Amino acid sequence: MSEIATLNLDGKSIQLPVTVGSENEKGIDISKLRAETGYITLDNGFGNTGACKSNITFIDGEKGILRYRGFSIEDLCENSSFVETAYLLIHDYLPSPDELAKFSALLTRYSMLHEDMRNFYSLFPRGAHPMNILGTMVNALSSFYPSVDANSMTDDIDVTAARLISKIRTIAAFSYKKSTGKPFVNPSRDASYCENFLNMMFWSPVNGYELDPEHVKAMNLLLILHADHEQNCSTSTVRLVGSSHANLYASISSGISALWGPLHGGANQAVLEMLERIYEEGGDIQKFIDMAKDKSNPFRLSGFGHRVYKNFDPRSKIIKDICRSILEKQAGQQPLLDIALRLEEAVLKDDYFASRKLYPNVDFYSGLIYKAMGFPVEMFTVLFAIGRMPGWIAHWKEMVNDPAARIGRPRQIYTGSTLRKYEPVSKR
């Protein structure tokens, strides 16, 4: 017998069906609410509102569980690769050796940028933020692959996905080279996904670049950990833009813009800047903790808190271990790591944060690793976008293929002026 919610309004009572997911999450289906009552619901920030049903990622914020297509993040980090995890997210199964080989070959095939797109870089000012370049270049892909629409892109989803997952890496590396005034480094056909990216980023004709297997492994893990996260702000943006049947490149470009915000993917850059500020101001973490608790001060501790995780972010536990192993070799990074560890310890003991269930999130330690690997802080959110690409694609594909999908168009409660009469300027 399925559950029913009863709503008593204006002396009437209406029955609303309850939807139960495969992990027993329950949602009251209000799709008939306005038609039957004239009422809508209001939910600032959608903290209580499900936008869709999805088979892609499951999160249990209380238990710190994160699974992609039913596989735990711990299992995938232990056994999988980013390319294989990307395939899993898009197709809902782990690829056969042949399918994985074919997908990897597509990633190699689509790793280059059209020569005309390379010219775009000369038009950006030197200080252009790499996230700005990334969003612009991804949007421009729909000019270079004009025959794209919802149907053609889902028909060729492996080609479309490979184009985006591979080219975002090249676009990112080129934007870094542009910022340093150094020559672009082309992708190689013989390197793995992460080796290629690190090489495009850091190889130079005069210094060369020696791949550190520990960095390649850390890059793979970090990309797996960022690959999807159900209906977060940027993924919801991709879904909303895609719901108008805008093509995938345009939808992804809007997701990149949403991710850039310091409350979302931009937090990893903000964490590093916060740790560096604490270090430069003498390492007094209590001063910053007190600022974050002071309601009259807009300052927040970047890297702490999460809309869904109210216990711990399973990703930050894995990232913290990667961080330690990478930073042990990087003596210069110790002060910032020491500050991060002291800050985490003090926050976890402070009732203000414990009572609000504020714990380190995915962004708290990732920036320290990126910095230790040689990435400039402006590239941190770009790295988040490279990881999140398969998730964005998987959600766009799920939404476009859903026969029940409709264009997203929320309602509102109007609180502005009631009817007013126009007055000519001579009478005002």
305 binds ligand SDX (CB under 6 A): yes
Torsion of CA 239, 242, 244, 247, to 10 degrees: 180
Nearer to ligand SDX, 173 or 258 (CB): 258
Please list the residues that pair with 17 across neighbouring strands. Answer: 4
Site for ligand SDX in 159-188 (CB under 6 A): none
319 binds ligand SDX (CB under 6 A): no
Nearer to ligand SDX, 185 or 301 (CB): 301
| Minimum separation from the CB atom of position 264 to ligand SDX (A) | 4
Ranked by CB distance to ligand SDX, the top (closest) residue is: 305
Please work out the total of residues on this chain that contact ligand SDX, with binding judged by CB under 6 A: 23
Among 129, 215, 226, 306, the one annotated catalytic: 306
Q: Got the DSSP string for 337-350?
A: HHHHHHHHHHHHH-
Q: Which of 201, 278, 358, 372 binds ligand SDX (CB under 6 A)?
A: 358
The CA distance from 365 to 261, in Å, is 18
Give the residue from 330, 374, 382 showing the smallest Cα distance to 201: 374
The CA distance from 129 to 266, in Å, is 12
Looking at residue 407, the DSSP 8-state letter turns out to be: -
Q: Which of 220, 247, 302, 316 binds ligand SDX (CB under 6 A)?
A: 302
306 has catalytic annotation: yes
Which residue has tokens 């040689």?
Answer: 374
What is Dmax (Cα atoms) for the chain? Answer: 80
Q: Which of 336, 362, 373, 386 binds ligand SDX (CB under 6 A)?
A: 362
Q: Which of 2, 12, 22, 45 binds ligand SDX (CB under 6 A)?
A: 45
Nearer to ligand SDX, 47 or 416 (CB): 47
| Minimum separation from the CB atom of position 232 to ligand SDX (A) | 3
Asked if 325 and 214 count as a contact pair (C-beta separation under 8 A), the reply is: yes
In 3-state terms, what secondary structure has residue 397?
helix
The CA distance from 426 to 180, in Å, is 58
267 binds ligand SDX (CB under 6 A): yes
| Minimum separation from the CB atom of position 269 to ligand SDX (A) | 11
Stretch of residues binding ligand SDX (CB under 6 A), selected from 10-18, 22-30, 90-98, 257-265 = 257-265
The CA distance from 300 to 284, in Å, is 16
Stretch of residues binding ligand SDX (CB under 6 A), selected from 49-57, 142-150, 275-283, 355-363 = 355-363
Q: Which of 9, 40, 42, 263 binds ligand SDX (CB under 6 A)?
A: 263
Spatial strand order in the sheet of 26-28: 4-9, 12-20, 26-28
Side-chain-side CA neighbours of 158 within 13 Å: the count stands at 17
Nearer to ligand SDX, 200 or 221 (CB): 221
The CA distance from 222 to 322, in Å, is 9
Nearer to ligand SDX, 95 or 387 (CB): 387
360 binds ligand SDX (CB under 6 A): no
| Minimum separation from the CB atom of position 295 to ligand SDX (A) | 7
List phi, psi (to 5°) of 17: -70, 150
| Minimum separation from the CB atom of position 393 to ligand SDX (A) | 15
54 binds ligand SDX (CB under 6 A): no
Q: Which of 26, 32, 34, 356 binds ligand SDX (CB under 6 A)?
A: 356
Stretch of residues binding ligand SDX (CB under 6 A), selected from 85-93, 185-193, 194-202, 229-237 = 229-237
Q: 288: how many CB neighbours lie within 10 A of its CB?
A: 20
Please list the residues that pair with 67 across neighbouring strands. Answer: 58, 72
Asked if 413 and 41 count as a contact pair (C-beta separation under 8 A), the reply is: no
Q: For the purposes of burial, counting CB atoms within 10 Å of the CB of 96, is it exposed (0-12), middle (13-18) or buried (19 or more)?
A: exposed
Stretch of residues binding ligand SDX (CB under 6 A), selected from 13-21, 142-150, 354-362, 397-405 = 354-362
The CA distance from 26 to 24, in Å, is 6
Give the residue from 402, 390, 401 showing the smallest Cα distance to 158: 390
Q: Which helix (H) or strand (E) holds 269?
A: helix 267-280
| Minimum separation from the CB atom of position 197 to ligand SDX (A) | 20
Nearer to ligand SDX, 185 or 240 (CB): 240
Nearer to ligand SDX, 174 or 304 (CB): 304
Among 215, 228, 313, 363, the one annotated catalytic: 363
313 has catalytic annotation: no
Asked if 267 and 156 count as a contact pair (C-beta separation under 8 A), the reply is: no
Binding site for ligand SDX (CB under 6 A): 45, 229, 232-233, 263-265, 267, 292, 300-308, 356, 358, 361-363
Annotated catalytic residues are: 306, 363
